[in-house]
Amino acid sequence: MKVLVINSGSSSLKYQLYDMTDESVLAKGLVERIGMDSSILNHKPTGKEEVTEVSEILEHNTAIRKVLDMLTDPEHGVIESIGEIQAVGHRVVHGGEAFNGSVLVTGDVKSEIRRLFDLAPLHNPPAVMGITAAEKNMPGVPQVVAFDTAFHQTMEEKVYLYPIPKVLYKKHHVRRYGAHGTSHEYVSKTAAEYLDRPIEDLKIITCHIGNGGSLTAVKGGKSYDTSMGLTPLEGLMMGTRSGDLDPAVVTFVMNKEELSISEVNSMLNKHSGLLAISGSSSDMRDITDGMEAGEPNETLAFEMYEYRLRKYIGSYAAAMDGVDVIVFTAGIGENSAIVREKVCQNLTYLGVEIDKELNKVRSGDPRRISTPNSKVEVLVIPTNEELVIARDTHRIVLENK
Ligand SMILES: Nc1ncnc2c1ncn2[C@@H]1O[C@H](COP(=O)(O)OP(=O)(O)O)[C@@H](O)[C@H]1O
Ligand SMILES: CC(=O)OP(=O)(O)O
Ligand SMILES: [Mg+2]
């Protein structure tokens, strides 16, 4: 079965086409700057040369059409016709309390994802645009959705409730949900396999740090606690998101600056984090370059990022009464040796010791960066959310045949 996996962002769309007979990737790519002038489609067909095309792509429907054209293109394509795609899997960030696993898309499922727009304003609306566009361009092809929140549905009440009036949970489902669950589940399982130890016996802290970032305390293979909350704004400092702050900051600033709800939301989601403190960029590569050049703003941004991340690791070691494994993953976790080094350098009280040379090795494979003496295994595990979504899609479509 050939499965197309789609991860729709507000102005981007990432895709991968899998052949599930051997889980090989036939092609992958990214459409960026949807809705802006000069959108970019970068297409990487396996075994052929990659292509980049600049054109005007105003919405997700056009983006999907362009992707399908590229997949079937005589020169750059990897399939003869669209009819070869037998299923589509989509990433959806927020599934609320309704979903603890992936499901086939129905009208009810789409309504539920729409109902949750408020809770993931950056992520759920583009996901529905992606689903609708795929339905339009591939009528009759089954669609499956995989939720970032699903893995975290195992959190206990004491972990997921906020200490605010309970009526808000009853009326509006205000609670912690988490995100990046597909990734946290995948890297924690891969870590146990890599170490050849049963996951049931392990306390693992998974650090998914990319543009968005979250940590999960994975106890016995289940999500015990995670740093994102009602929305993907809680927790770590991120590229453009603030992460944790005193909730009074919100009302105080709204009052002083006369900001509306949408303005304050935009400030905290799009104009905070690394971008706000450095004043230059949300990209960790620029931040570390600036720090190495002695720029004070980039240095402060890095120090705040590292400090907040390290505090979360400490708190999850406390939450689980110990930690056996720390996993780094996603764009920053997989690629930034300096972030890993600085975080681990100050975890001596947990018995963490990393090998600085091993830490610098670049590889696309799971690897250990801790020393044999370290009391905690420290691993770098490349995440693969798309593969998990492709597997779920394949399984669910076969079950529903
Ligand atoms: N070589 C690198 N060194 C440091 N940071 C990197 C490197 N490569 C990528 N990144 C960081 O990874 C981030 C993107 O991570 P990714 O997991 O792809 O995010 P998302 O899925 O949210 O788009 C970028 O913002 C960048 O800061
Ligand atoms: C939920 C979330 O933050 O996703 P991303 O990292 O893709 O922005
Ligand atoms: Mg991501």
Whole-number Å distance between alpha carbons of 13 and 3: 16
Three-state DSSP class for residue 221: coil
Read off the pLDDT of each residue in 200-212 and give the average, rounded to a whole number. Answer: 97
> ipTM score of the complex?
0.98
Dihedrals phi, psi of 235, to nearest 5 degrees = 105, -130
CA of 10 to the centre of ligand 3 (A): 13
Q: Do 105 and 144 form a contact (C-beta atoms < 8 A)?
A: yes
Provide DSSP, 259-306. --HHHHHHHHHHS-HHHHHHSS-S-HHHHHHHHHTT-HHHHHHHHHHH
152 has a pLDDT exceeding 90 = yes
Is 73 among the catalytic positions? no
pLDDT in tens, 327-364: 999 999 999 999 999 999 999 999 999 999 999 999 99
Q: Do 133 and 83 form a contact (C-beta atoms < 8 A)?
A: no
10 has a pLDDT exceeding 80 = no
Residue 10: partners with Cβ closer than 8 Å, 6 or more residues away: 122, 123, 125, 126
Q: Residue 120 CA: which ligand 2 atom is closest?
A: 1
| 15-to-6, 44, 134, 384 alpha-carbon distances in Å | 5, 10, 12, 12
Read off the pLDDT of each residue in 219-245 and give the average, rounded to a whole number. Answer: 97
**DSSP type of residue 370:** B
Picking from 25, 37, 172, 8, the residue whose alpha carbon sits closest to that of residue 97 is: 172
Picking from 137, 131, 142, 3, the residue whose alpha carbon sits closest to that of residue 79 is: 3
From 12, 28, 283, 381, the mutation candidate for ligand 1 (largest count of ligand atoms within 8 A of CB) is: 283
Whole-number Å distance between alpha carbons of 147 and 124: 10
* For the chain, the helix, strand and coil percentages under 3-state DSSP, each to the nearest 5: 45, 20, 35
CA of 73 to the centre of ligand 3 (A): 28
Residue 18: partners with Cβ closer than 8 Å, 6 or more residues away: 2, 3, 4, 5, 24, 25, 26, 386, 387, 390
Picking from 225, 36, 233, the residue whose alpha carbon sits closest to that of residue 118 is: 233
When pLDDT is cut at 50, 70 and 90, the band that residue 251 belongs to is: very high
Mean pLDDT across the chain: 96
pLDDT of the residue at 281? 93
Catalytic, out of 19, 148, 321, 365: 148
From 11, 30, 93, the mutation candidate for ligand 2 (largest count of ligand atoms within 8 A of CB) is: 93
Cβ–ligand 1 distance for 239 under 6 Å, the answer yes
pLDDT over 90, % of the chain: 95
pLDDT in tens, 385-398: 999 999 999 999 99
Read off the pLDDT of each residue in 253-263 and give the average, rounded to a whole number. Answer: 97
CA of 327 to the centre of ligand 2 (A): 18
CB burial class (10 A; 0-12, 13-18, 19+) of residue 214?
A: buried
Read off the pLDDT of each residue in 135-146 and give the average, rounded to a whole number. Answer: 96
Provide DSSP, 298-356. HHHHHHHHHHHHHHHHHHHHHHTT--SEEEEEHHHHHH-HHHHHHHHHT-GGGT--B-H
When pLDDT is cut at 50, 70 and 90, the band that residue 11 belongs to is: confident
CB burial class (10 A; 0-12, 13-18, 19+) of residue 111?
A: exposed
Q: Is 108 annotated as a binding residue?
A: no
Exposure string for 251-280, b = 16+ CB within 10 A, e = fewer: eebeeeeeeeeeebbebbbbebbbbbbbeb
pLDDT in tens, 286-305: 999 999 999 999 999 999 99
Three-state DSSP class for residue 104: strand
Q: Whose CA is nearest to atom 6 of ligand 2?
A: 212
